[in-house]
Amino acid sequence: MALITLRQLLDHAAENNYALPAFNVNNLEYIQAVMRAADATDSPVILQASRGARAYAGDAFLRHLILGAAEEYPHIPVCLHLDHGDQPSTCISAITNGFTSVMMDGSLEKNGKTVASYDYNVAVTAEVVKIAHAAGVSVEGELGCLGNLETGAGDKEDGHGFEGKLSREELLTDPDQAFDFVSKTGVDALAVAIGTSHGAYKFTREPDGEILSIETIAKINRRLPNIHLVMHGSSSVPADLQELFNAYGGKMKKTWGVPVSEIQKAIPLGVRKVNIDTDLRLAFTGEIRKHHIEHPDNFDPRNYLKPAIAHMTEVCKERFEAFRAAGQASNIRVLKLQDMAKRYAKVA
């Protein structure tokens, strides 16, 4: 089956008031976990690869693994999305390598550290939209800087994040600016800054409205009711995954992620894509730690990768169900890239 675009998936999610988890993947085992969960729950799939994932696995391996997933599960629509493209050339190389969706993250300059000017962000994002839409490929942009409202610091854990400190106003996406950004760039989806950050250490306490601003999403949605919103840094970092990791020699300080219940509040407010990487990393690594401690004699990787896949599958199933994506895959008929390109040409 042909891969589906992000735009088609998110339009369907908006029409039917659900959201899709977008899982970061790096290898065969992650992809199997997401696909098994999608198959068990009849959910559409977004598999996203960061620049780090592309460097780790290589574009040809990623593309063929994902085409393998689409062949093995022909009834599940699968989108291959570039996460956090840092400059137009990164997005273009993804498009030429078979990605059906790209993120141009122009909120930071291409060094991934300096907060970019608004004009720079508009210019690079509009450039990518023009090229991508001509090929039928979708584009996600980002406005505002992901960062921690408790400290004012940018998220650094994945090597992407501004240096120094920003005020609360600077950290949250401005709804009027979002309106202008979407009209000037023509993005299909918009990632917003609401106090989430990448990695495990998002909050030092159970988040409330002071440090996780669902209210900002409500304001953006009032200004832009038709844009598909994206939440980054939205792993829930559940206590049981922290406990599993720590029970077998891991060292993780107590931390809080984005509660699933908060994500559920954001879905009626236009959030359609919810990025999740850390929760799968923790399930994967926690199970491998457990297996090594319990079976020090084993040296067959399949014996520890199987429980790792199984635990990631459980996490994926829970998110598909919680975001009400379960049951939706069979309702979607995949449009080809050429058809999407024709659609964009009509409205441009």
Ligand X SMILES: O=C[C@H](O)COP(=O)(O)O
Which residues here bind ligand 13P, judged by CB under 6 A? 24, 83-84, 198-199, 232-235, 275-278
* Part in contact with ligand X (CB under 6 A); list of ranges 46-54, 113-121, 188-196, 246-254: 46-54
Q: Which of 39, 140, 262, 277 binds ligand X (CB under 6 A)?
A: 277
Cα 308 to chain centroid, rounded: 21
Active site residue 208: no
* The token pair that represents 297 in the structure block: 């004699």
Residue 276 contact among ligand 13P, Zn ion, ligand X, none, beta carbon within 5 to 8 Å by kind: ligand 13P
Distances (CA, A) of 337 to 2, 185, 274, 328, 340: 9, 20, 23, 21, 5
SS3 category, 20: strand
Diameter of the chain by CA atoms? Answer: 63
Measured from the CB of residue 275, what is the shortest distance to ligand 13P in angstroms? 3
Measured from the CB of residue 22, what is the shortest distance to ligand X in angstroms? 10
Site residue total, ligand X (CB under 6 A): 10
Phi/psi for 258 (5° steps) reads -90, 110
Distance CA 285, CA 283 (A): 6
Of 127-156, which residues contact Zn ion (CB under 5 A)? 142
Of 65-124, which residues contact Zn ion (CB under 5 A)? 105, 107
Of 247-266, which residues contact Zn ion (CB under 5 A)? none
81 labelled binding-site residue: no
* The token pair that represents 314 in the structure block: 């459980």
Measured from the CB of residue 220, what is the shortest distance to ligand X in angstroms? 21
What is the per-residue DSSP string for 26-93? -SHHHHHHHHHHHHHHT--EEEEE-HHHHHHH-HHHHHHHHHHHHHH-TTS-EEEEEEEE-SHHHHHH
SS3 category, 227: coil
Which lies closer to Zn ion via its Cβ, residue 85 or residue 286? Answer: 85
- Chain residues that interact with Zn ion, rule: CB under 5 A: 105, 107, 142, 232, 275
Instruction: Indicate the annotated binding residues for Zn(2+).
Output: 84, 105, 142, 198, 232
- Which amino acids are annotated catalytic? 83
Annotated binding site for dihydroxyacetone phosphate: 199, 233-235, 275-278
Q: Which residues contribute to the site for ligand X (CB under 6 A)?
A: 24, 50, 52-53, 83-84, 158, 160, 198, 277
